[in-house]
C-alpha cells in the first residue's frame, strides 16, 4: 500500500492601500458629510437622525 499525500495551495488576493490614500479617502468622506449636512434643509437632517434613532431602537421621545 502506498502513502499518498496531497497538498492544496490557497491563494488569497491581498489589497494594500497606502496610509496616504486612506487619509485622503477619510478626509474626502468627512468633507462630503460636513458639506451635505451644512447645505441640507434642517428638516431633512432632523428626519434622518430621527429615523436612525428608531432604527437602532434608541428612545427619542
pLDDT at 27: 97
Using CA atoms, how far apart are residues 42 and 26, in angstroms rounded to an integer?
25
User: In the chain, where are the structural domains located?
Assistant: 19-55
b or e along 10-42 (b: 16 or more beta carbons within 10 Å of the residue's beta carbon)? eeeeeeeeeeeeeeeeeeeeeeeeeeeeeeeee
Residues 6+ apart with CB under 8 A from 45: 37
Instruction: Give me 8's grid cell.
Output: 492544496
pLDDT at 60: 72
At 2-36, the pLDDT tens digits run 676 766 666 766 678 789 999 999 999 999 988 98
Amino acid at each position: 500500500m502506498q502513502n499518498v499525500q496531497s497538498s492544496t495551495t490557497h491563494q488569497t488576493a491581498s489589497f494594500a492601500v497606502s496610509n496616504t490614500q486612506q487619509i485622503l479617502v477619510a478626509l474626502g468622506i468627512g468633507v462630503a458629510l460636513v458639506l451635505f449636512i451644512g447645505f441640507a434643509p434642517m428638516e431633512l437632517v432632523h428626519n434622518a437622525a430621527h429615523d436612525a434613532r428608531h432604527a437602532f431602537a434608541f428612545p427619542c421621545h
